[in-house]
Amino acid sequence: MPVRLCYPTPFLPARVTKVGRGVKFFRPNSRQTSRERNLLTLSGLFFNTIPTERLKTEKSDNNQRGKANIFSSELGWTMTGPVKASEPLRLCTRLHLSELTGLKASTLSELLELIRTVSGSCIYHHTHRFLQQHQYLSPEPPNDFAYWVSNVLREAELGENLASIDIIQYSSVRSLREKIILVIEEYLRKNPSAERRFVNPGAEFHFIKSVSFVFPTNHVAHDLEELADILKKITIDSIYFHVFEARLRLEKGENDLSLWIEKAIGDKGLADKISRLDPYTFTLEDLRRKLVHLIERSIRS
């Protein structure tokens, strides 16, 4: 049974408004009950306008009993309110710890061998450390491998090749590791003399791994409106976890927000828009604002 949205007869506007997907409008008559007249105000919804000439009223014998006429059944709108998720999304946050591994490289060959064998948490740390520690800077800074190769080992071309790796194109740390290995291998194949270059003691590349402790928060979203409100006030650590770590480190292949919006809400269009964002080109605060903007615009549309 659709919910009736009613205007008091004296205040029926010249242009009737569209609330969003699935809305039917009901025009009251002079015998409208006060409860029906107040329903629209209590709904607290926002509107876009539609010309009244596009709307038609359906005659009803119920008019004598104070029932509302229905606007434009040809538009096929039904009032559903905010779409509730099939399962809620509990937002989490994380604490980060950097742990020394004791492994270090002084040549390209040593660097390559260690990249092949270290844990995925090392690869993740050295491709995301700058983003975590300097979250107010954008766009994407170079990863640690690119910085060391360019500025310490003085292999500028290889450093540029490593810095140009587009991390957003990779859905797992494993695939990102394979790309880094491939870039270094190709460079050594073309420049075999680079294997003989080394750095002085104290300038080696030290491998560090990223350790994250994930905790659930008290914030739970049951629909898009609640999600937008939560995103405005949760910490950037929480946003970082659900956007970066969930997609790449947990190997979900997608950020948590897009997955939930598509599967639990059923809004694939919005999920795709969020998925297409390149989060590495935003500061974390700018990313927060962009996510809220996309969700709120979807709610209003």
pLDDT score for 219: 97
pLDDT score for 289: 95
Note if the pTM is more than 0.85.
no
Give me the residue spans of the domains in the chain: 9-75, 104-205, 211-300
Q: Hey, what are 191's tokens?
A: 């420049």
In terms of Cβ atoms closer than 10 Å to its own Cβ (0-12, 13-18, 19+), residue 176 is buried
pLDDT score for 251: 72
- In sequence order, the β-bridge partners of residue 269 are none
The helix-helix angle for 108-117 and 173-190 (nearest 10°) equals 160
pLDDT score for 301: 82
User: Which runs of consecutive H residues, i.e. helices, occur in 50-143?
Assistant: 108-117, 120-133
How far apart CA 57 and CA 68 sit, in angstroms, is 10
pLDDT score for 65: 29
Element at 147 (helix H, strand E): helix 144-151
How far apart CA 137 and CA 153 sit, in angstroms, is 25
Averaged in consecutive runs of 10 residues, what is the pLDDT profile of the chain (301 residues)?
A: 35 37 41 44 36 37 34 41 87 90 96 96 88 55 86 94 88 92 96 92 95 92 96 93 84 88 95 91 90 95 82
**Which residues are CB-neighbours of 282 under 8 A, at least 6 positions away?**
138, 290
pLDDT score for 102: 96
